[in-house]
């Protein structure tokens, strides 16, 4: 859902009014076995968009057959559409990827709205593009120390991870969205935009150039602390079937 919301300048809650099959000879790029429809839908609500939208819109939909090989039927279905506008045609949209029509439900509607609000917020977390330098400082006691990992972002805003270890205690970690790491820094809440941008786009291992300036022991500890953060974030379960999934490299 986050992939779709981020990729879509227009998100519409609509009910399909009619579908018309397009001949395969008139549907370039159609996948084998799929059917291309021209769909007309009545707009119920605009979840995201640059302005007003007509009460009825049209778009192309490539539909794969159902498990029994039958062509799906969509008439009267309530759907969420993740799309971009068609220049010069306010009544037309273009789906951002083949699976960008989802069946509507209260849960999917609420999730799409929440993610869109986070994406458009003035304090939205930046897009993570890579990992910068990492530093580790050992404490005075065995097993004590702190690691900092600085992240690269698309708009050069500061983001860093900090991992603090004390003997006999569970390691603590936090993410800071400023140059100063203070007591307000904490791990991101699951299924938020900040969690998504960390869990889905951080590399699975700390790059060698991030620890090039560290001693062998400090580099080993920094790598272990970075893996600790990834384990706490959890796996990013993503549907990457579309060509425009996500907002940065993994």
pLDDT in tens, 181-235: 766 789 999 889 999 999 999 999 999 999 999 999 999 999 999 999 999 999 8
Nearest one of 65, 67, 97 to 83, comparing CA atoms: 97
Please, are residues 16 and 79 in contact by the beta-carbon 8 Å criterion? yes
DSSP 209: G
**Helices first, then strands: H and E counts in the chain:** 4, 10
**Which pair of tokens denotes residue 218?**
């400090």
> What whole-number distance in Å separates Cα of residue 144 and Cα of residue 166?
5
Q: How far is CA 207 from CA 123, 134, 235, in A?
A: 28, 10, 19
Percent of the chain with pLDDT over 70: 94
- pLDDT tens-digit profile of 120-143? 999 999 999 999 999 999 988 888
**Which pair of tokens denotes residue 112?**
């799409």
Residue corresponding to tokens 């220049």: 87
The domain spans of the chain are 2-120, 128-233
The domain defined by 2-120 carries CATH number 3.40.50.880: no
């Amino acid at each position: 859902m986050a992939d779709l919301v981020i990729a879509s300048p227009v998100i519409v809650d609509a009910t399909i009014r009619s579908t018309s099959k397009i001949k395969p000879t008139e549907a370039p790029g159609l996948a084998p076995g799929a059917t291309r429809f021209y769909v007309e839908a009545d707009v119920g609500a605009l979840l995201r968009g640059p302005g007003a939208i007509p009460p009825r819109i049209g778009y192309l939909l490539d539909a794969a057959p159902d498990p029994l090989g039958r062509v799906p039927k969509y008439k009267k279905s309530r759907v969420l559409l993740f799309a971009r506008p068609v220049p010069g045609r306010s009544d037309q949209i273009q789906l951002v990827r083949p699976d960008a029509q989802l069946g509507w439900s209260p849960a999917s509607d609420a999730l799409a709205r929440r993610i869109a609000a986070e994406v458009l917020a003035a304090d939205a977390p930046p897009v993570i593009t890579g990992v910068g330098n990492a530093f580790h400082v050992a404490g005075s006691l065995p097993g004590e120390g702190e690691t900092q990992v600085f992240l690269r972002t698309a708009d050069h805003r500061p983001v860093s991870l900090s991992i603090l270890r004390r003997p006999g205690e569970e390691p603590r970690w936090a993410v800071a969205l400023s140059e100063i790491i203070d007591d307000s820094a904490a791990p991101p809440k699951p299924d938020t935009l900040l969690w998504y941008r960390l869990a889905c786009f951080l590399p699975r291992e700390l790059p060698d150039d991030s620890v090039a300036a560290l001693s062998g022991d400090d580099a080993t500890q920094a790598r272990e602390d970075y893996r600790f953060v990834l384990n706490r974030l959890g796996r990013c379960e993503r549907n990457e079937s579309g060509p425009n999934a996500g907002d940065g490299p993994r």
